[in-house]
């Protein structure tokens, strides 16, 4: 089947199998390896991307389902050589250890912050509850998301 979609601002037209998963199209056909495959069952959040602005597990999404959609992966966040405030906050707050969960965490946080720009720590914990960090960096991740929310809102410290 032929599908057409936009990924990170670029239009793509691809032939895909009816049962082909979005995670495999992104990683294998488009070389966007920032999106990780962890569990393959939608439990870990490592594969989260935005589809039409909503966080989805790409390991559970058929590629044919994104025909006509706008997709954002971790690679699409950097603009004009500048890291997105979430990416920068993850670095500054040491929220990256092995880094495997980081792309999914950042994309999930981006989706949440678009809906709730000024979250509490408890709300951030709830927002990332579908993302697993095997290194246990949750306190740093929460701090980074809070910092990024303030940066995105222009809050001065």
Residue of 156 and 93 predicted with greater confidence: 93
Neighbours of 4 (CB within 10 A): 12
Going along the chain from its start, the domains and CATH numbers come out as 2-76 (3.10.20.30), 85-153 (1.10.150.120)
- To 5 degrees, how large is the angle CA 51–CA 72–CA 22? 60
Is residue 157's pLDDT more than 80? no
Quote the pTM value: 0.94
* Span 36-51, average pLDDT: 96
What pLDDT, on the 0 to 100 scale, is given for residue 156? 66
Q: What is the pLDDT of residues 116-145, one digit of tens each?
A: 999 999 999 999 999 999 999 999 999 999
How far out from the chain centre does Cα 4 lie? Answer: 21
What pLDDT, on the 0 to 100 scale, is given for residue 94? 96
**Distance (Å, whole) CA 25 – CA 146:** 32
* Arithmetic mean of pLDDT over the chain: 96
Would you place residue 155 in the very low, low, confident or very high pLDDT band (cuts 50, 70, 90)?
confident
Three-state SS for 105? helix
What percentage of the chain exceeds 90 in pLDDT? Answer: 97
What pLDDT, on the 0 to 100 scale, is given for residue 154? 86
Neighbours of 44 (CB within 10 A): 22
Q: What is the pLDDT of residues 55-88, one digit of tens each?
A: 999 999 999 999 999 999 999 999 999 999 999 9
Closest by alpha carbon to 14, among 74, 71, 79? Answer: 71
């Amino acid at each position: 089947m032929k599908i057409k979609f936009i990924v990170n601002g670029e239009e793509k037209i691809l032939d895909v199998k009816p049962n082909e998963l979005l995670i495999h199209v992104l990683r294998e056909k488009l070389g966007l390896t920032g999106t990780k495959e962890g569990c393959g069952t939608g439990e870990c959040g490592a594969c989260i991307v935005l589809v039409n602005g909503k966080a989805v597990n790409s390991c559970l999404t058929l590629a044919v389902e994104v025909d006509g959609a706008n997709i954002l992966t971790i690679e699409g966040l950097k603009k004009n050589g500048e890291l997105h405030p979430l990416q920068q906050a993850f670095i500054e707050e040491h929220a990256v250890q092995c880094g495997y969960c980081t792309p999914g965490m950042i994309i999930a946080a981006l989706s949440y912050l678009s809906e709730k720009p000024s979250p509490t720590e408890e709300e951030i914990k709830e927002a990332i509850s579908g993302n697993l960090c095997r290194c246990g960096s949750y306190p740093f991740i929460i701090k980074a998301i809070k910092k990024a929310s303030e940066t995105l809102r222009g809050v001065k410290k």
